[in-house]
A and B are shown apart, each in its own frame.
Chain A
Amino acid sequence: NAGVTQTPKFRILKIGQSMTLQCTQDMNHNYMYWYRQDPGMGLKLIYYSVGAGITDKGEVPNGYNVSRSTTEDFPLRLELAAPSQTSVYFCASSLLQETNTEAFFGQGTRLTVV
Chain B
Amino acid sequence: AQKITQTQPGMFVQEKEAVTLDCTYDTSDQSYGLFWYKQPSSGEMIFLIYQGSYDEQNATEGRYSLNFQKARKSANLVISASQLGDSAMYFCAMREALGTSYGKLTFGQGTILTVHP
Contacts and interface: CB of A to CB of B under 8 A. Distances in A.
Interface of A: 31, 33, 35, 41-45, 48, 50, 56, 58, 88, 90, 92, 94, 96, 98-100, 102-105, 107-108
Contacts of B52: 98-100
B109 A99 contact: no
Interface in B3-23: 6
Contacts of A108: 43-44
Contacts of A100: 33, 50, 52
Contacts of B50: 100, 102
Contact of B105 (A88, A92, A98, A107): A92
24 contacts: A35-B107, A41-B109, A42-B91, A42-B109, A42-B110, A43-B91, A45-B104, A45-B106, A50-B102, A56-B104, A88-B43, A90-B45, A98-B33, A98-B52, A99-B53, A99-B96, A99-B97, A100-B52, A102-B47, A102-B50, A103-B93, A105-B44, A107-B43, A108-B44
Interface of B: 6, 31-33, 35, 43-45, 47, 50, 52-53, 91, 93, 95-97, 102-110
Contacts of A104: 47
A26 B47 CA distance: 18
Contacts of A105: 44-45
